[in-house]
Amino acid sequence: MEKMSVWLLLVCLLSQTPHSFSKEWSRELIKDVEFAEENVHQIFSPDAYHCQLACTQHHSCLFFSFIERNRTTDSRKFHCYLKQSKFGVPTKVTEKKGVTSGFSLSQLERTPDICLSSLYFWVDFTGADFSSLFTQDYKECQRVCTNDPYCQFFSFLTEQFSKPEMRNKCFLKYSWNVPILPKIEISSEVTSRFSSRYANKTGAFDDDAWNSDLGILEHTDFPGNDFEQVPAVSKEHCMFLCSSHPRCTYFSYATSKYETSDAWYYMRCFLKHNVDERPCVPKKELFSGMPRRLFKPTDKPQPSSWVTEEWSYNIPGADSKIIPDVSDERCKRLCTEDSDCQFFSYYGYPRDTCFLKQVITLPLPPKVVLMDAVVSGFSLKGCDTPKPTEST
């Protein structure tokens, strides 16, 4: 893009308001331009479209810049920078070859399912493996990933891979596709809850076919073997998170009464992986169990209360919208009616303020790097016609 074009783009942006972008403008990916604004988050993306979807799902991202794979002089290949500005639009636009920028799609009408059909040749999605097997080619690897209930993305080692014993190996990978709470704080002034949409439909938080209390051991710890620790509002919520992650073989949950000098442990879910053994020791205010998928459905299912009940907790962060002067019931309705709202916190009198919240559930590879003889891609579960689109 020529310098005059960059200048005209900046003038055009500054003349807009945050809500005045047309659908065509919001969808447009702008080549060889970087928005040098404040970064609110940085992730790895295989292409600019994935970066744009991540921006759309981030609670405060308004626009983004993505470092393309062909930017040879930059060590930041595949970095996706999610951005915002106090003006709501980019105010610092620079010409930079190999950088693609664009805007959040939050103003657009979006479909509930996301289709990521591109294949990425000589690209590795590093980490997040939960299973591996040998397949004939990368297309078969993608089919296996698509048919696996947990697989979000994959990497396949072709017949040209440097180590012969690893050729034709398909690695199935997972990242969180359910909302993970950023933090939990005990508060008598705040109530929080998940969106009613999750309790009213078959989907992310559907517990109707399971008795979620089954198998949870009171005042018991399964020590060691942690691979991830995340906030959870209850032992049942922790069980759900363990059930959602393919690597989780069992879990332990620390309540808000757990005796410790470090408050970080309060309401913390410890996901564990060990298929060979399961240590077990008594410990007060720790609850342990196994994932739901290891149990059979009950004859009389008991819906899990953690999905529908209110908690006297604050969930700080991830605010997508802040609405003052509303009631508790109105706050619930606003979250339910907002397709982006996954959970909310409500401050009662005298603030009477509703905080709608959103976190990214898009498949997120932990790292994206160039690697010879490796093909990577995503599950086609969200695609109407599950056929891959070849990319470079």
Label residue 349 by pLDDT band (50, 70, 90). confident
Give pLDDT tens digits for 291-340.
987 655 554 444 466 788 889 999 999 999 999 999 999 999 999 999 89
| % of the chain beyond a pLDDT of 70 | 82
Which CB contacts under 8 angstroms, 24+ apart, belong to 6-9? 6/33, 6/93, 6/94, 6/95, 9/33, 9/93
What per-residue confidence (pLDDT) applies to 129?
A: 99
Higher per-residue pLDDT: 213 or 137: 137
Label residue 51 by pLDDT band (50, 70, 90). very high
Cα 4 to chain centroid distance, Å, stands at 39
The DSSP-derived string for 213-262 is TTTPBTTEE--S-EEEEEE-SSHHHHHHHHHHSTT-SEEEEE-TT---S-
Give pLDDT tens digits for 60-72.
999 999 999 998 7
Q: What is the pTM of this model?
A: 0.89
Give pLDDT tens digits for 152-161.
999 999 999 9
Residues of the chain with CATH 3.50.4.10: 3-103, 118-176+364-390, 209-302
Label residue 194 by pLDDT band (50, 70, 90). very high
Whether domain 209-302 has CATH 3.40.50.720: the reply is no
For 118-176+364-390, CATH gives: 3.50.4.10
Alpha carbon separation from 127 to 174, 308, 367 (Å, rounded) = 9, 34, 7
What per-residue confidence (pLDDT) applies to 309?
A: 84
DSSP state, residue 307:
G
Mean pLDDT, to the nearest integer, of 43-47? 99
Task: Check whether 8 has a pLDDT greater than 70.
Answer: no
What per-residue confidence (pLDDT) applies to 201?
A: 46
Alpha carbon separation from 70 to 32, 82, 97, 158, 228 (Å, rounded) = 11, 20, 9, 22, 34
Fold annotation for 3-103: Hepatocyte Growth Factor (3.50.4)
Sheet containing strand 268-272, strands side by side = 226-231, 268-272, 250-254, 286-289
